[in-house]
Structure 1
């Protein structure tokens, strides 16, 4: 996506949807963990026995629901105890989601997830308004980012291209909706409850 089209897309309402994609063979764990064009964003120890990868879109209501209602308890039960490494990867379905992910990256390492959390919690204030650019400037002001910095970030074509490449790799793995999770290489689509995650993860921990 070129910059001029991307910025135009931020200023109008774009509806996230599911793109029809051909079927793909499920990737191996080694393929899933191959380095991408941007530093991996993860929680937990790299040597945890279970690795969960989430492909998410910031304009996705189901992703918002997961991060607000499931993630805190999941993190406490599995990530903080050293059982799971959790990786979040960008899979924007529309220009606004791309913009949000770019701003989170531009916010800096220590503000990356707090920015994602802020954007999820304020989703209705920027993802579904007529002037998303102004809304994002206002919201990012809460992180200390000035309006000029927001504009500079959104004009970073290289960053946009790398985020798009992460999503394209996800598509090659068969990701076609969000959230999509890979648990030690096995794909699961849609929001998973903590109970459902436990059904999937606990047997893997016993096997260790």
Structure 2
């Protein structure tokens, strides 16, 4: 999948991308003898990330992305949202619940956006799933979040799963389905038995896949990716764990 940025001023920040790019580069490098004794480490030329044996990724430097062909429209579907349905601006996040850069956005930026824009009625914030295949628990985590949403606990689960991973480090964190169930059960008001049964059923697999397909169609290739839209049209794209100031600039432009 190729990325299709939708704003000339967009900047590419740390994100994670699909692994076929890394595999292709590795095979080419081996063919030309470009890998030395450190061949166990794969250098992702695609986004500048270094992926080693520690299970995490190192943030690549920020850089400009190519100018888009024009504004895009991105559907919010029926996905979980915060803020007024009548807000003039909609922010759509395509995210992976096992992605360390998505977690960085949650830790460093999300709460300030919520305080300044969601809670004040200026934006509606929509979460859509984009589980990357090289995160083994990303798919089931997304399905579990849908199960939590059945009980009106989506955002509590969203916050919980990122918070629990933060306790274990800054890179990609390994966890199990049992961990997911444990974290869900710790959320106040959650019916744990109902939640666990829902997670085991796999009933939301297609719902998550539909989000992924929508993201791919919009040009998403890594996480997190954000579309900041007037309504759900004329969307500007921000890619990666952008600082708050980057969101502030684009949101204010869309509010003007």
Relative to structure 1, the CA distance from residue 60 to residue 111 in structure 2 (aligned partners, 3 Å threshold; closer, same or farther) is same
- Whole-angstrom distance in 2 between the partners of 1:192 and 1:17: 13
How far apart are 1:132 and its partner, in Å? 0.8
Which protein has the bigger helix share? 1
Q: Normalising by structure 2, report the TM-score.
A: 0.63
The question of whether the paired residues in 1 share the 8 Å contact of 2:81 and 2:127 is answered with: yes
The 2-side partners of 1:26 and 1:95 are apart by: 35
Deviation of the 1:137 alpha carbon: 2.7
Q: Is the 8 A contact 2:143 2:202 kept in 1?
A: no
Residue ranges of structure 2 left out of the alignment (5+ in a row): 1-14, 22-67, 230-234
Measured after TM superposition, the shift of residue 154 of structure 1 is: 3.0
Q: Which has the higher strand share?
A: 2
1:146 aligned to 2:192? yes
SS in 1 for 2:204: helix
The runs of at least 4 consecutive aligned structure 1 residues that moved more than 4 Å come to 24-27
- After superposition, the CA RMSD in angstroms is 2.6
Greater relative CO (CA pairs within 8 A, separation 6+) = 1
Whether the aligned pair in 1 keeps the contact of 2:184 and 2:195 (CA below 8 Å) is: no
Aligned to 2:155: 113
1:188 matches 2:238? yes
Say if 1:146 and 1:78 are closer, same or farther in 2 by CA, change over 3 A. Answer: closer
1:169 aligns with 2:214: yes
Q: Which runs of 5+ in 1 are unaligned?
A: 1-15
Q: Check if 1:67 corresponds to 2:106.
A: yes
Equivalenced residues, count: 181
- After superposition, where does 1:18-37 map in structure 2 within 5 Å? 18-19=17-18, 28-29=72-73, 32-33=74-75, 35=77
1:146 to partner: Cα distance: 3.4
Alpha-carbon distance in structure 1 between the residues aligned to 2:194 and 2:228: 40
